[in-house]
Structure 1
Amino acid sequence: MSTAKLKFNWLWPEIVDIETAQRAAKYGYWAAIWIVGFSAVVATIAIAISTVFDFLDDGVYLDTALFAVVAWRIKQTSG
């Protein structure tokens, strides 16, 4: 195995059996959860301080909700 392959294995894990597939799904779930949390914080700050984040609007909450659904579905199908 090359060093580059080992270095980015967490980013795109090799799936060879059910256990590695479930581990990859868990990574996807936690990535979606991180996006939900980060987006919610940024959206709340953007609405509270509208002069700083003029380019963000209430649509960020829709994106956050969609990623929450993605995270929920990944969690449901990976179990």
Structure 2
Amino acid sequence: MFGFTEEQITAFGMTFGVGGLMLYMLFIIAQLAWESKAGKFGFFVMMLGLAFGMVGFVAKYMIQWIMNIK
């Protein structure tokens, strides 16, 4: 499709598509914390849980990048 291979489309979707969904989840979690009046600690705990998932997502691509260099 449009000169792209299936692998290129999948790589684009996995990086930008999932990255966009993570930013949307950040908005959702912040909205939930605001509406529930979770306070500073509750907000921190909710964002910490989301941050672990984001760090894992970024770490996967960093590990792949390092392995492809060698």
> So what's the TM-score if we normalise by structure 2?
0.50
Higher share of residues assigned helix: 2
